[in-house]
Structure 1
Amino acid sequence: MPSTKSKICLLRLTAARPHLPVLLFLPGMDGTEISLRPQLAGLQAHFDIRCLTLPPDDHSDWPTLARITIDLVKQANLFERSIYLCGESFGGCLALQIAADYPHLFERLILINPASSFSNHLLMGWGAELLPPLPYYLYYISAFGLLPFLAAFDRIEVHNSQALLAAMQAVTQTSARWRLKLLNTFRPNWTRLRQLHQPTLLLASRADRLLPSITEAEKLQRAIPHAQMVVLPHSGHACLLERQVKLAAILQTHKFMPALASDPLKERYDESHKGI
């Protein structure tokens, strides 16, 4: 396996907005911000948006990923503000891990088709074992075969589906196998999740061809005290890429959108330029 010096990091997706709450996005298995980018226009007026990014060759386990995420948030001094923890698919599992391990460090929890049911499906588990023998070119091509299960092509712009495919193909074969094994071994800490006091929003796609997201969201809703569930009736697993899905509108409807805050820097500028 080639070695790199790349590290897990927090990527800033908007201009610095220190007066706004933080939306901390935890991505899917591709480990990138690709799926959140179509949603930025609606979210950026309300949040300072950061995304955890995973190097293509990262082999961290769940507790390590959770600890590194918390360390990065501390280093960026983000705990001084409200943090909305948002995890999609693989990132949904990480969000559940963080919620269980560090329950007092975030204000709200948003889970989008979390892959926490992965271990219940034998076919998925076998996938982790089938990856190592594949020659590289077959592994590279296999991403094409997986894409229809991840995404509803008729609902996604071509450039977004191409970006998702490129991000999937960038993940090394050994790392993909490792992340599948992580999903296969993930078990929510139900005892701690039942003690959460934060409002939680569960987004579940009815047309998810990869995982039974509706069933899993219902299970999580029963376990987490202040959870509400939103069903996306026509969406696939990678729902944030779909042009019809507007995360900002969903958050607004379900009272998960923070009120627009005034920008102190802009206010000072406006005050200093009065009468000019």
Structure 2
Amino acid sequence: MAAPSLCIADGFFPTDFFYRNSTRRLTYDRVTNPKLRFHRRLRNGGRVTATVNPYSYTEAARPEERKSLNDFWVEVRGFVNSDGGDGGPPRWFSPLECGARAPESPLLLYLPGIDGTGLGLIRQHRMLGEVFDIWCLHFPVSDRTPARDIVKLIERTVRSEFFRLPNRPIYIVGESIGASLALDVAASNPDIDLVLILANPVTRFSNITLQSVSSLLEIFPDRVPSLLEEYFRFEQGYPFAAMFETMLNETDAAQMGGGLLRNFFATSTLLKIFPKDTLLWKLQLLKSASASANSHMYSVKAQTLILLSGRDQWLLNKEDIERLHCTLPKCEIRKYENNGQLLFLEDGLDLLTIIKCSYYYRRGKSLDYVSDYIPPTPFELKEYEESQRLLTAVMSPVFLSTLDNGTIVRSLAGIPSEGPILYVGNHMLLGTELRPAAIHFLKERNIPLRGLAHPVMFTRKTGSKLPDMQMFDSVRMIGAVPVSNINLYKLLRSKAHVVLYPGGVREALHRKGEVYKLFWPENSEFVRTASKFGAKIIPFGVVGEDDLFEVVFDYNDQMKIPFLKNLIKEITEDYTYLRNGEEGEVGNQDLHMPGVIPKIPGRFYIYFGKPIETKGREKELKDKERAHEVYLQVKSEVERCMTYLKIKRESDPYRNILPRSLYHLAHGFSSQIPTFDL
């Protein structure tokens, strides 16, 4: 049996628990490794290094190579067998496969669930290890450390690391028992910057449940694993499994627990590797830890992300989770309906992607949307592109840009590579234009577009009628940030490519008869902000929404219905509560969802005009009047771009979806569809 590929650190306890590194070196092609560079030798022996765009071939992108579930079982058994009869107290270890991490990476402490091995993140180690310093807590099989002493161990580690790096957050990822321990630690250390990620937390373990499971285990012989293995073969018709099923139905203990016990044995497959006395101890530890967490949760001030499985939740109580959500002041809940009890070991779930989409990753005391942003991997972009494939196929967007000499060209040849660039344009209905544009910029130019989006996409008041945050994951994955002057300032200072819609929600959720009408404020500071960094301002226009939808039930109609009027006002007030005194046009827009009907799909057209230079004009544009002149120039250019597109699209033979479909059938679905002559 291979030894686990882990480096064990004793933390605060001495240990002789070391393993050799059996991790093999992995190699990646240009698709899966965004940092890969290729080389070619010159005749004189020198080398030229060129950077490969990792997003050019996302169709061939594969998930990042990671350990399999079988590897997990092998290493779990290695841990259990290596513990022996005297495994010692709990201790920390750091997985070797995490490799080199980014500078200033925060510490991530993993607290295991009922298995206690500390290997629950084994499929996540490599990706998490690129941006975190990972320590995992391991409980030897023979360990009987009570919950309060485990909490003290974790607290010593947290306080030591906080003293060493006080300006860096400490992440605690906990599953079931580990989640309860994490809440206890957070409640006792409100002065330490903690970020909790709790998977299927158990905050109340009833005595009835505990007695039911404990009583059932008591009547089993010592070889519980063998019995469980037989039970898992029930569907194949093994006779002992039928007897086991009958025993579950007939015993008094089973009657007390009902179907809960079947879920306990059927879903907690890890338990079959432990002896009976260890299982009983784990249940007592779970009871003690959950009771302590339940009594202290009102003291928790830490930022918290709760991850819930939709299937096989044998201990979770919806009322407890809702109470936990309401009690914790900085809490967000994410549900994964198709996942089971062992959330982090299942295919299709990437913890780092969840952290990125929820904007929970930060290196300092507060989130910096610029420096803390982690771009999508090629595979993440592929999945995002596939989620938008139907919309992209329906829109079949045409991209036009302008060279320095004023020549209009197809695609993005006229877009400067170096920032800072500020793209200023009109919002389409429902803001549908940003997604295909962000994909196109990454695939063709490896340029992330940092869109300034409505703050409602980034925060939500507990009990609010605002939409669930998960519906905005795709927007946040591609780098959207809340619109504000400070975020615009930081993005331009970092030389980013920033997209700004001065019309905001009022333009994206416009009313009947307002198609292609700009709702820009009388004054805007974006010109003066851009001039501070010498940013180029690129006006752009987008048309095509009238080829897809027609608004039939707008804001004015909805305000005539008392129920909808009250709902809109409530949602708007919730947002007003969250924006913390933010001023400007964004704060004066009621949030609603216009009713639309689809049309026979036409086509989207996006035209980027000639850049407007601000470099060297900082002193000139400090004057509000001169800056306002440039502001009006930008607005005029946006209107000109829209007018150009509305005229030219009339000569596009592929504006309708039918000729586009025929073109795809003749030339392949990956072919580029022509458009009007330039």
TM-score range, shorter chain: 0.7 to 0.9
Matches within 5 A, 1:190-229: 192-212=296-316, 214-229=318-333
SS in 1 for 2:341: coil
Change in Cα spacing, 1:101 to 1:141, as seen in structure 2 (3 Å) is: farther
- What is the rounded CA distance, in whole Å, between the counterparts of 1:196 and 1:134 in structure 2? 40
User: 2:175: which partner in 1?
Assistant: 88
The CA deviation string for residues 96-133 of structure 1, in whole angstroms up to 9 with x for no partner, is 2212223334421111101223327x244321233244
TM-score scaled by structure 2?
Answer: 0.33
- What is the rounded CA distance, in whole Å, between the counterparts of 1:260 and 1:10 in structure 2? 29
From 216, 230, 234, the equivalent of 1:130 is 216
Asked if structure 1 preserves the Cα contact closer than 8 Å seen for 2:188 and 2:299, the reply is no
- What is the rounded CA distance, in whole Å, between the counterparts of 2:295 and 2:115 in structure 1? 29
Asked if structure 1 preserves the Cα contact closer than 8 Å seen for 2:305 and 2:332, the reply is yes
From 134, 139, 151, the equivalent of 1:54 is 139
Instruction: Return the offset for 1:170.
Output: 4.1
Instruction: Return the offset for 1:251.
Output: 0.8
Instruction: Return the offset for 1:10.
Output: 0.5
User: 1:148: which partner in 2?
Assistant: 266
Asked if structure 2 preserves the Cα contact closer than 8 Å seen for 1:87 and 1:95, the reply is yes
Matches within 5 A, 1:4-23: 4-13=86-95, 14-15=98-99, 17=101, 19-23=104-108
Instruction: Return the offset for 1:147.
Output: 5.6
Asked if structure 1 preserves the Cα contact closer than 8 Å seen for 2:199 and 2:307, the reply is yes
Q: Aligned residues: percent identity?
A: 27
1:182 aligns with 2:291: no
Change in Cα spacing, 1:235 to 1:117, as seen in structure 2 (3 Å) is: farther
Change in Cα spacing, 1:230 to 1:78, as seen in structure 2 (3 Å) is: farther
From 37, 47, 70, the equivalent of 2:155 is 70
Question: Which stretch shows the higher mean deviation, 186-195 or 84-93?
Answer: 186-195
Asked if structure 2 preserves the Cα contact closer than 8 Å seen for 1:10 and 1:51, the reply is yes
SS in 1 for 2:174: strand
- What is the rounded CA distance, in whole Å, between the counterparts of 2:131 and 2:265 in structure 1? 31
The CA deviation string for residues 206-242 of structure 1, in whole angstroms up to 9 with x for no partner, is 2234223644332211111111111112111111111
Change in Cα spacing, 1:7 to 1:204, as seen in structure 2 (3 Å) is: same
Which one has the largest radius of gyration?
2
Q: Structure 1, unaligned stretches of length 5 or more?
A: 151-163, 262-276
Change in Cα spacing, 1:54 to 1:24, as seen in structure 2 (3 Å) is: same
Change in Cα spacing, 1:223 to 1:213, as seen in structure 2 (3 Å) is: same
SS in 2 for 1:87: strand
The CA deviation string for residues 16-53 of structure 1, in whole angstroms up to 9 with x for no partner, is 75731011010011112332111123312210111111
Asked if structure 1 preserves the Cα contact closer than 8 Å seen for 2:223 and 2:275, the reply is no
User: 1:157: which partner in 2?
Assistant: none
User: 2:75: which partner in 1?
Assistant: none
The CA deviation string for residues 242-266 of structure 1, in whole angstroms up to 9 with x for no partner, is 11111111111111123279xxxxx
**Amino acid of the structure 1 residue aligned with 2:109:** L
Question: Which stretch shows the higher mean deviation, 129-138 or 49-58?
Answer: 129-138
Change in Cα spacing, 1:173 to 1:40, as seen in structure 2 (3 Å) is: same
1:255 aligns with 2:337: no
- What is the rounded CA distance, in whole Å, between the counterparts of 1:172 and 1:49 in structure 2? 29
**Amino acid of the structure 1 residue aligned with 2:224:** L
- Structure 1 runs of 4+ aligned residues shifted over 4 Å read 72-79, 143-147, 188-192
**Amino acid of the structure 1 residue aligned with 2:217:** L
Asked if structure 1 preserves the Cα contact closer than 8 Å seen for 2:141 and 2:274, the reply is yes
- What is the rounded CA distance, in whole Å, between the counterparts of 1:201 and 1:55 in structure 2? 28
User: Relative CO higher for 1 or 2, CA cutoff 8 Å, sep ≥ 6?
Assistant: 1
Instruction: Return the offset for 1:184.
Output: 2.8
- What is the rounded CA distance, in whole Å, between the counterparts of 1:123 and 1:191 in structure 2? 19
- What is the rounded CA distance, in whole Å, between the counterparts of 2:194 and 2:209 in structure 1? 36
User: 2:185: which partner in 1?
Assistant: 98
Instruction: Return the offset for 1:5.
Output: 4.0
Matched residue count: 244
Asked if structure 2 preserves the Cα contact closer than 8 Å seen for 1:32 and 1:52, the reply is yes
TM-score scaled by structure 1?
Answer: 0.77
SS in 2 for 1:136: coil
User: 2:349: which partner in 1?
Assistant: 245
- What is the rounded CA distance, in whole Å, between the counterparts of 2:125 and 2:352 in structure 1? 9
